[in-house]
Every structure is written in structure tokens, then in C-alpha cells.
Structure 1
Amino acid sequence: MIHVACVVVALVALEHLYFLVLEMFLWDKPMGMKAFGLTPEKAAATKVMAANQGLYNGFLAAGLLWGGFRGDTDVQLFFLGCVLVAGIFGAMTVSRKIFFIQGLPAAIGMALILTQ
């Protein structure tokens, strides 16, 4: 089970690195606009905000990878908890889909770590 938890934590980290790329570098490009349902005008107006958001996603990924490389489940649980809270907040304020994309994988990772 420990290996499954490591894989899930790594996948959540990779997901957040993907968010970093989408939000920091592709926000106003066709791929980014399609991913977030943006018009060119909306993308241009929110580009700086999205880059900041992408940076925070990078910090989440870095924390998860740091905890994984150290084998420190407390660090992993902390960052997975942050991801879970962000997923719940996103579901409540933007789209329920965010919980399934972001929050649920974090919750599964937490459950796997806690049941080791």
C-alpha cells in the first residue's frame, strides 16, 4: 500500500505542475483558453492573476515532491491537505468539477498514507 500512496502523491504533484504550466505559460494560448473556457479578452485581462495562481500550484507540487523524496508523510499530509482545501473551495466557488480533479485525488492520497 505504501507504493500506491507514493504513486498517488506523485500524480497529485504532477497534476499541479501541469496547472503551473497552464496558468503561468499557456493561459492566453489556445490550450490554456480551452482548458479554462476563456475568451481571448478574458485571458488577457486575467493573465497576471493566473500566473500568480500557477506559482502557488508550483509550491504545492514542490511540497509534495519534497515530502515524497524525504519519505516524510507529515509533509505529504500537510500539502495534500492544502490541495484538498483548495479543491473544496474551488468546488464551492467555481465548479464542482474542481473537487474531482483536484480535491478527490488529494483525499485519496491522504487516506492511503493514513492507512499504512
Structure 2
Amino acid sequence: MNRENFFDDSGFDKFSAWLEEVTCIFPSKEIVSAQWEMTRRMEGVLKRAGVTLHCSDIETEFSPLLEDQCRLQDILIRYGFCGNKDAYEETLKETILYQEVRNLLLNNDHKVPVWEQPVHTW
């Protein structure tokens, strides 16, 4: 699997440009939905590939996908919340879309929400 199959550079650049245009209405349902859609796609790709989330395999084989997710989150924080990551995370927790996918973000072993788990640096 290569990165182009998931989200190529030109697609990401187009999405980034669109995101910059609509940040004046952030946090709209469209933007939050876009982030969750990307997250769901990533999780689906990883699960179909037989990768257990939160394990070291992700670090090597799937680092380009994780980098895309980090880039998207950085854009949302930078443009949507003027760099205020805490405000971004609080808003995300309050959305209906977040509640719908909350179980996907729980660590199955300990039932600890992702935002309460230690931050991993790859």
C-alpha cells in the first residue's frame, strides 16, 4: 500500500485550500465531518490490513497516513482556532459527530479515551 492510494499530495493540497476558504464558518458540520471521515477511512484501511491500532506496526508501515491526519488536524487548529488546540479539542468533544464515533476513539483494552491517553511521538 502506498500513500497515493489513500490521499495524494494534490488531493491534500486541494482539500487544504478548501479548508482555508471555509474556516470563517468553523466549526461547521462540514469541516468536522471531513475530519471524522478521514479518520474513519484511516481506521478502515488499517483494520483491513490487519494492523492493530496503537501498536508499533503503524509507526513504520502506516506513518504516511498518520502524517496526513496530523497535517489535517494542524490545519484545523491553525486556521479554525487561531492556534488554540485546547479550544479545538473542547469543541470537537461537544459535537454530535464526535459522540457518534466516540467508541472508535476508545482504547479497547482499557476503555480510556484517546484524549486521556499518553501522547505518542513517532
More helix by share: 1
Q: Which TM-score applies when normalising by structure 2? A: 0.34
With CA pairs under 8 Å and 6+ residues apart, which has the higher RCO, 1 or 2?
1
Q: Which TM-score applies when normalising by structure 1? A: 0.35
